[in-house]
Amino acid sequence: MVLSNLVNQLEESVTLAASARAKTLKAQGRDILMLTLGEPDFKTPENIAAAATAAIASGKTSFYTQAGGLPELKSAVSSYFESFYGYGLAPNEVVVTVGAKFALYAFFASVLNQDDEVIIPTPYWVSYADQVKMVGGRPVFAVGTQETDFKVTVAQLDVLKTDKTRVLLLNSPSNPTGMIYTSAELTEIGNWAVAHDVLILADDIYGRLVYNGNNFTPISTLSDAIKAQTIIINGVSKTYAMTGWRIGFAVGNPEIIGAMSKIASQTTSNPSAVAQYAAIEALTGDQSTVETMRLAFEERLNTILPLINEVPGFEAIKPQGAFYLFPKVAKAMEMKGFSDITAFCDDILEETGVAVVTGAGFGAPENLRLSYATDIETLLAAVKRLKAYMEK
């Protein structure tokens, strides 16, 4: 079959692929511990599920909503921004999408022309680079290493900037590293973007999942000039345990937001109406469940991190947010005779039944990703198996 040049240059999402492989082994009866997906293990809070049930019962299902989202949901996003960003939004500054993932795609499709460049700090969430390629753009990587807490500096951006640079992507707290840029670091980076007329794409999706007294400051709150230059991506998946509902949103410059709505109108149409009603409740209803889940993630992080660092050859820095550990395993690979991280992760799965994700898809070929969005018993059992594997 002749497939498109486009699809031939794309990778399958490594997180989804790793999970699919692990699920197949599980279905075959293998004892698999899944640490692959960025999917909270909690149930969607009851008040949110009840809002969806009420929407179904009252027949709010037999119509398309506005492609860019229900006006009531846009207004809920605005209230949410007032609470957590300190400013509200006009309806034309918000677009609601099928997950934050589609908001990202619609953004790239709206602003990039052929060969336009997007600077992506590494390690980066798996889908960014391929989405840029899908619309003809070029990902350009600013390398963050474990030694610099996986952060990049303005000096690095200066080297990478060309007359094709259109966007700088920031994902703080980061998937996969959990690191958070400080306000001072963000101010410097934001001012750099403003000075060079580079758009900032701020993926804030983990902004409410921050631990141990760390703070998340949204870059858009640092100055009016930075705010004007920034499109924010956010959504309900991670904060409210709503990955299956597929509601994300983007916020910022009305012209770009309008273009993104146009892309949605010709591709997805609106996200599920029922899910939109649920999202209204998520954003404006009782927020105490968010804190309950955040505390649970924090406790898991604090329990599991020291144990991971006791696994021979594993070296993890302490994440400040999100729900992943991203240990460097270069020494462990050497001890086990592997030079390729993906082959190493496959061996771990085969030998221990612990499913993790290769760092290769995140632009970090000496690291692997473990999600702690799973129960503590599974996490403890997984670490025990990894330790036994490395000590063998």
Dist CA 58 CA 141 (whole Å): 49
- State the number of CA atoms in the 13 A half-sphere of 287 facing the CB: 9
Nearest to 274 by CA among 109, 62, 105, 26: 62
Question: Is residue 351 classed as helix, strand or coil in its secondary structure?
Answer: helix
Q: Establish if 99 lies at the interface with ligand PLP (CB under 6 A).
A: yes
Identify the H or E element spanning 280. Answer: helix 273-284
Dist CA 262 CA 106 (whole Å): 9
Among 38, 121, 207, 359, binds ligand PLP (CB under 6 A): 38
Query: How many C-beta atoms surround the C-beta of residue 62 within 10 A?
Result: 6
- Specify the residue, 194 or 233, whose C-beta has the smaller distance to ligand PLP: 233
Question: Which residues are within 8 A (CB) of 163 and not within 5 positions of it... i.e. 6 or more apart?
Answer: none
Q: Establish if 69 lies at the interface with ligand PLP (CB under 6 A).
A: no
- Taking contact as CB under 6 A, which single stretch among the options 96-104, 194-202, 223-231, 257-265 is the one that binds ligand PLP? 96-104
Among 36, 230, 243, 261, binds ligand PLP (CB under 6 A): 243
Dist CA 375 CA 41 (whole Å): 7
* DSSP-derived secondary structure letter, 66: -
**From residue 193 to residue 222, what is the string marking binding to ligand PLP with x (rule CB under 6 A)?**
----------x-x-----------------
Among 237, 239, 289, 374, binds ligand PLP (CB under 6 A): 237
Question: Is residue 281 classed as helix, strand or coil in its secondary structure?
Answer: helix
Question: Is residue 275 classed as helix, strand or coil in its secondary structure?
Answer: helix
- Tell me the number of residues near ligand PLP by CB under 6 A: 13
- Specify the residue, 181 or 338, whose C-beta has the smaller distance to ligand PLP: 181
* DSSP-derived secondary structure letter, 60: T
- Taking contact as CB under 6 A, which single stretch among the options 94-102, 276-284, 337-345, 358-366 is the one that binds ligand PLP? 94-102
Among 123, 144, 248, 361, binds ligand PLP (CB under 6 A): 248
Q: What is the nearest approach in angstroms of ligand PLP to the Cβ of residue 127?
A: 7
**From residue 131 to residue 170, what is the string marking binding to ligand PLP with x (rule CB under 6 A)?**
----------------------------------------
Q: Establish if 173 lies at the interface with ligand PLP (CB under 6 A).
A: no
- Specify the residue, 140 or 241, whose C-beta has the smaller distance to ligand PLP: 241
Dist CA 319 CA 301 (whole Å): 8
Residues at the site binding ligand PLP, with contacts judged by CB under 6 A: 38, 99-101, 125, 171, 175, 203, 205, 235, 237, 243, 248
